[in-house]
Amino acid sequence: MLDEKALDIVKETAPVLKEHSHEIGMRFYKLLFSKAPELYHMFNQTNQKRGGQQEALAYAVYAAGENINHLDAIRPLVMRISEKHRALGVKPDQYQVVGETLLQAVKDVLGDAADDEVTDAWRAAYKYIADVFINIEKELYDKTEHAPGGWLGFREFIVDKKVPETDAVASFYLKPKDGKPIASFKAGQYLTLKAAIKGEKYTHMRHYSLSDAPGKDYYRITVKREDAHGEAPAGIVSQYLHKKVKEGDILEFAAPAGDFTIVNNDLPIVLISGGIGLTPVISMLEMLVEKLPERSVTFIHATANSSTHVMKERVEQLAANRDNVRSYVCYEKPAEEDIAAGSFDKEGYIDLEMAQINFAKQQSRFLHTILLMFIIKE
C-alpha cells in the first residue's frame, strides 16, 4: 500500500486528472502506439478514430486512485474491465508500458503541475492498481483455461451455418475446428473475434454476444451489418462477416467473457433491448425458458419496424402458452402492414409510461425487485 503522504496526493489530484482525462487519453495513445506499435492489433482502431474511448483507460485509473483504499467500492467496474482484458489477451508485462506511458502523458498535459511528488505518488498508485487487475486477470485466465472445454487465447471455429435474420442481420453458428467440447457460458456473455482481414493492416478484435442459450455443441452470434452513413464509413468487421465470410470458413475466437449476466434468484425479471442490443437478452430469455421455466419474465424490445425486427417469431414462440413470459414490442416507424397486422404494442420509443404499465402487470409486491437489463445500441 502507499504511504500516507502519497495517498493524500493521489486522492487530492485524482479529480484534476479525471477532468483532464480526455486530453491525457489522447496523448497517452499517441505515445503508446509509437512505443509499442504491435498494440495497434489489440486496440480497436475505429474507437481511436471516433474518439470517446480514449479517456476510458485513463479515467478508470483515476477513478481507482480516488477509491484506492477501498477498491471494493469499484469492484464491478474492475471486474468488467478485467473480463474484457482477459478476452483480448492483455498480459501482466503490458501493464508496465501502459503505466509509464500514462505518467508521461500526465506530465505532457499538466506540465509543471505534475511535479516529482505528484508523479511519484501516481507511479506508486498505478503499480498498486495494476497489481489488483493483474491478480484478478490471472484468476480469470486460470478459470478460462481449466473450465471444461475452455481454452486460452484464440481458438479456431468453423462457420457451420450462416442464417439471415433480417436484411442487415445474420446469425453465425460456430463449431470448434478441433471437434473437442466447448466451454459453457452464462447468458449475457460475449465471444471476442480476432479478424485477420485480407488487405487490412491490422487484425481487428470485436466482441459479439452469444445469442443462443448455453449448453449447446455450438456457439451462435448474431451480427448487424454496419453500413456507411453520412460521413461515417462502413463497419470493418461486420461488413467482412456479412459479405466475405461463408459457411465452412474459419474464424478465431477467445473463450466467453463478460459480467453482464442474470442474478441467480427467482425474482421477476424485465429484459429491455433496442435493435441489435437484443442479442444478450435473447440468450437470457432462451436460458430462462429452458432452465428456469417458473421465473416471471417481461421481454420489451424496440426496433424500427418488422423489417428490422430480429427473432420476432422466436420470441413469440417462447411467450406463447406461458403465462409467466410476456413480450412487448415498440416500433419507431411501423410499416403499413405492421399497423394492419397489429404486430406491435406501441409506436415510438419505449418510455416510462410503457414500462410502468408493463411493470404494473406484474404483481405489485415484486415491483421494487425488478431487475432491469438495459442494452440499447444504435
Ligand X SMILES: Cc1cc2nc3c(=O)[nH]c(=O)nc-3n(C[C@H](O)[C@H](O)[C@H](O)COP(=O)(O)OP(=O)(O)OC[C@H]3O[C@@H](n4cnc5c(N)ncnc54)[C@H](O)[C@@H]3O)c2cc1C
Each residue 231-260 as x (binds ligand X by CB under 6 A) or -, in order, gives -xxxxxxxx---------------------
Asked if 222 interacts with ligand X (CB under 6 A), we say yes
Site for ligand X in 167-196 (CB under 6 A): 190
What's the full length of the chain, in residues? 378
Instruction: Tell me which of 66, 83, 137, 286 is the catalytic residue.
Output: 137
Residue 88's alpha-carbon distances to 21, 68, 174, 247, in angstroms, are 23, 25, 19, 25
- The whole-angstrom separation of Cα 282 and Cα 286 is 6
* In the block, residue with C-alpha cell 402492414: 337
Those residues whose C-beta lies under 8 Å from the C-beta of residue 24, and which sit 6 or more positions away, are 17, 55, 58, 102, 105, 106, 109
Strand partners, 269: 297, 371
Each residue 128-157 as x (binds ligand HEM by CB under 6 A) or -, in order, gives -xx--x------------------------
Cβ–Cβ < 8 Å for 210, 219: yes
φ and ψ at 258, to 5 degrees?
120, 150
Asked if 80 interacts with ligand HEM (CB under 6 A), we say yes
Asked if 47 interacts with ligand HEM (CB under 6 A), we say yes
137 labelled catalytic: yes
**How crowded is residue 174: how many other Cβ atoms within 10 Å of its Cβ?**
24
107 binds, among ligand X, ligand HEM, none (CB under 5 to 8 A by kind): none
Interior angle at CA 77, CA 117 and CA 85, nearest 5: 90
Each residue 96-135 as x (binds ligand HEM by CB under 6 A) or -, in order, gives --x------------------------------xx--x--
Edge-to-edge, what's the strand order for the sheet holding 325-331? 346-347, 325-331, 297-303, 269-274, 371-376
Asked if 42 interacts with ligand HEM (CB under 6 A), we say yes
Give how far the C-alpha of residue 272 lies from the chain's centroid of Cα atoms, to the nearest Å.
16
Residue 229's alpha-carbon distances to 199, 226, 233, 276, 378, in angstroms, are 22, 9, 7, 17, 12
Which segment (10-18, 22-30, 50-58, 281-289) binds ligand HEM by CB under 6 A? 50-58
185 binds, among ligand HEM, ligand X, none (CB under 5 to 8 A by kind): none
- The whole-angstrom separation of Cα 129 and Cα 150 is 28
* In the block, residue with C-alpha cell 466467453: 256
Asked if 44 interacts with ligand HEM (CB under 6 A), we say yes
Which segment (94-102, 177-185, 241-249, 338-346) binds ligand HEM by CB under 6 A? 94-102
Name which of 200 and 347 has its Cβ closer to ligand X: 200
131 sits in the region (left: phi over 0; alpha: psi -120 to 50; else beta) called alpha
Site for ligand X in 264-283 (CB under 6 A): 276, 279
CB of 235 to ligand X, least distance (A): 2
* In the block, residue with C-alpha cell 449475457: 188
114 binds, among ligand X, ligand HEM, none (CB under 5 to 8 A by kind): none
Binder among 28, 141, 208, 299 for ligand X (CB under 6 A): 208
Site for ligand X in 30-69 (CB under 6 A): 46, 49-50
Name which of 62 and 157 has its Cβ closer to ligand HEM: 62
202 labelled catalytic: no
Cβ–Cβ < 8 Å for 60, 53: no
Would you tell me which residues interact with ligand HEM (CB under 6 A)?
Answer: 39, 42-44, 47, 53, 56-57, 60-61, 80-81, 84-85, 88, 90, 94-95, 98, 129-130, 133
Would you tell me which residues interact with ligand X (CB under 6 A)?
Answer: 46, 49-50, 190, 206-209, 221-224, 226, 232-239, 276, 279
